Structure 1
Amino acid sequence: MKIAITGGAGFIGSGLALKLQKDHEILIIDKMSSNEILDNGNLECFGHFKNLLDFEGELYVGDIKDEKTLQKIRKFKPDVIFHKAAISDTTVYNQNKILTTNLNTFKDFIELSIDINAKLIYASSASVYGNQPSPQKVGVEDPKNPYAFSKLMMDKIARKYYDKAHIVGLRYFNVYGKGEFYKNKTASMVVQFAHQILAGKNPRLFEKSDQIYRDFVYIKDAIDANLVALDSKCGVYNVGSGVARTFQDIVDILQKELGTNLPCEYIPNPYIKAYQFHTQAELSKDWAYQPKFSLEMGIKDYLDEIKRLFEKEVNA
């Protein structure tokens, strides 16, 4: 197949490209990281060339808001568009910035996919659930920030076109694994805690971290979900492990794997008013996605990459 991946130099996009490039022709679209920052001081774009060092396909540097970018994809004539590009920072509250980037462009991608008869698999987000009780299920949403709202609106638009195109939205829960390092502050706490421990520092957790639950899903499972989506019915599906684990669990597993016993440091949670305290994906019986990695298995599989990053990037 010919496959276009927007946000293909980012975390999930790059993993997908590297997984598929052996058997398919890949075009990556990415704005690429620069010195542009958002109103919270974080980077606007996380696309990084080091995620693509082993990539053999074509990279086109462009903004999804630019008509030239759409024309580039149209000319490529992909069979599938994996649409991962977005401002994905949940702590950004500039509604205009988030919605013009994430939402306004989405209609263009739907129309493009219809015109060229391409399947469209796009990134939604578990953030749409807000504080809804676990397990979170599609159809019961309560977004608490502009990013979550943008994803919910994308899901609503997509539903209007199910009869015209193959469109699947994937609501990612807390994805971790290879390729996330260049997300900087928004990288998972798995890699952040691991690098604290490797540096000999006490892991810093929010107070009552043994009572804060998340559905942590390993990158290899998230990539598999995208492949399952190619043959699934149109719809929106949760991508998680289906199991809720605590941030304390992450630290305990890492310390066991790394052979350390550093005391934890507990700090006040500055996001307590806009925080999800328990997330767990309700996995749909209507599609074939089956997560394979427990948190223990995922961290163990990830550990060599974590150590490499610590040596080559953190201490470079």
Structure 2
Amino acid sequence: MHYSETDFNQKNILITGGAGFIGSNLAFYFQENYPTCNVVVFDLFRSEATFSNGNLKSFGHFKNLIGFKGEVISGDINDDEALNKLSSYRFDYIFHEAAISDTTVLDQGIMVKTNVNAFKTILELAKVNHSVVVYASSAATYGDAASPQRVGHEQPQNVYGFSKLSMDHLAREFCAQNPTMSVIGLRYFNVYGPREYFKNTTASMVLQLGLQILSGKTPRLFYGSDKIVRDFIYIDDVVQANIKAAVSGKSGVYNVGTGNPRSFQDIADILQKELGTALGTAYFTNPYRAYQMHTEADISFTCKDLGYAPRVSLEEGIKAYVPEIQRIFKCEVNHG
């Protein structure tokens, strides 16, 4: 499916974090729709290295790129030498997805270095090539701000959200100094869909509950989960937002969600309907003192400025995703 009338054939495209969830989906979108575009994936890929919280330092995984025919470069965005090698490619578009996306990482220095300082190097690379830049910002910039969340009303509660907001400030300053450049930040809300499995514990509730159900366990939710709502967005709509942003000629920061929040209970119920189970729900007390009960993206400017329009409802997204969740359970969970 083409999300834009722009022809990306013959264009040079860089996707940082291209072995991750959103990056790999973008890589396949271009490969499937524009067979002569040149896509370069740059990713750290996973190793045994972990942060102090025990989680992996990189969620990039080769299995997300099986079938991808473009060039793949292993590199760290914190390594200026590695990034400098990319300057010879003359990229038309840069999709910057590489980041530490684990919100529980406590090492503030590495978070800021990876998410903010490396982004400046990406912007400088874009300036040389006059590339369009679309980068991953985050709904974490809003912290526990009241719904609907709107650009300009941020109050990050962790260093991850702070780092993403710092990226937005950096992009704004860069565009003020380079007014002919197009740099767009996309604040993703709760994304779910194929190729997220290797995010491990940071994968979506849709995948985690789906795997619980397939293992025969009753899905576990906090008491009151019918009132805990999030703006869940299917990966196809996130890809759409990236493409629309890339061709918009705009600069700025935009929310990427559906504007239609749904509950955790809805997810569990839809999954059981699609999987043909009737396991009910096991409720337990929410252990978190501070817990966000409601997120909802204000997407009015995203629709107006970028021509974005969310197409996939939660029911449609889960229905499309279920065969992949079943494959993951069979091939990865049981034989991983």
TM-score (norm 1): 0.97
The 4+ residue runs of structure 1 with deviation greater than 6 A are: none
Identify the residue that residue 315 of structure 1 maps to in structure 2: 334
The corresponding residue for 1:229 is: 245
Which of residues 279, 286, 294 in structure 2 aligns to 1:262? 279
Partner of 1:282: 298
Equivalence for 1:138: 151
Q: CA deviation at 1:116?
A: 1.1
| Alignment partner, residue 184 of structure 1 | 200
Other-structure match for 2:260: 243
Deviation at 1:164, TM superposition (A): 4.3
String of CA shifts for 1:189-237, please: whole Å, max 9, x gaps.
Answer: 1011011101110111122211111000000000010000012211101
CA distance in 2, matches of 1:182, 1:209: 26
| Distance of 1:33 and 1:269 partners within structure 2 | 32
Which residue does the alignment assign to 1:196? 212
Percent of aligned pairs with the same amino acid: 54
> Where in structure 1 are there 5+ consecutive unaligned residues?
none
Q: Contact conserved, 1:4 with 1:80, CA < 8 A, in 2?
A: yes
Range with greater deviation from structure 2 (153-162 or 175-184): 153-162
Aligned to 1:304: 323
Contact 1:114 1:164 in 2 (8 A): no
Q: CA deviation at 1:254?
A: 0.4
Contact persistence 2:220–2:282 (CA under 8 A): yes
Q: Distance in 1 between matches of 2:289 and 2:23?
A: 31
Q: Which residue is 1:95 aligned to?
A: 108
Structure 2 residues without counterparts, runs of 5 or longer: 1-10
Count of residues paired in the alignment: 315
Deviation at 1:246, TM superposition (A): 0.6
User: CA–CA distance in 1 between the matches of 2:53 and 2:236?
Assistant: 30
Query: 1:123–1:171: 8 Å Cα contact kept in structure 2?
Result: yes
Report deviation, 1:67: 1.6
Partner of 1:272: helix, strand, or coil? coil
Report the counterpart of residue 9 of structure 1 in structure 2: 19
How much is the aligned-residue C-alpha RMSD, in angstroms? 1.0
For 1:175, the equivalent position in structure 2 comes to 191
1:127 aligned onto 2:146: no
Q: How does 1:211-230 map to 2 (within 5 A)?
A: 211-230=227-246
Structure 2 Cα separation of the partners of residues 271 and 17 of structure 1: 37
Residue in structure 1 matched with residue 31 of structure 2 by the alignment: 21
